[in-house]
Chains A and B, each alone.
Chain A
Amino acid sequence: MAKNSLGREIPETFNGKRYMPYKDPHAIVPETFHFQRASRMLKRNYSGASKVVGGLREAIIASGLKDGMTISTHHHLRNGDRLLNDLVKEIDALGIRDIRIAASSVHIVHAELIPYIKKGVITALECGVNGPIGEQISKGEIKCPIVVRSHGGRARSVISGEVPIDVAFLAAPFCDEYGNFNGFYGPSACGSLGYALVDAQYARKVVAVTDNLVAFPALPIGVPQNIVDIVATVDSLGDPKKIVSSTTKLTKDPMGLQIAQYAAMVIDSSGYLKNGFSFQTGTGGISLAVAGHVRDMMRERKIKGSFGCGGITGFFVDMLEEGLFEGLFDVQCFDLKAVESIGRNRKHQEMSAGLYANPFNMGAVVNRLDCAILSATEIDVNFNVNVNTESSGLLLHNTGGHCDVANGAKVSIIVCPSIRGRLPMVRDEVTTITTPGETVGVLVTERGIAVNDHLPELKAELIRRRAPVKDIRQLHDEIYAVTGAPKAVEFTDEVVGLIEYLDGTIIDTVRTVRA
Chain B
Amino acid sequence: MDAVLNSLCCLMALGSSMFLWRPPRSVFKEGALISLYLVLFMAFSFLTMEGSDATLEYLPLRMLALCICFSVTSIQNHKTRYLVMAQVLWLWVEFFGGVSLVYRGLDMPWTRVVAIGSCAAGSVFMTRISREMEFILMVYWIAIWMFF
Partners in one complex: no
Give me the interface of A with B, judged by CB distance under 8 Å: none
Give me the interface of B with A, judged by CB distance under 8 Å: none
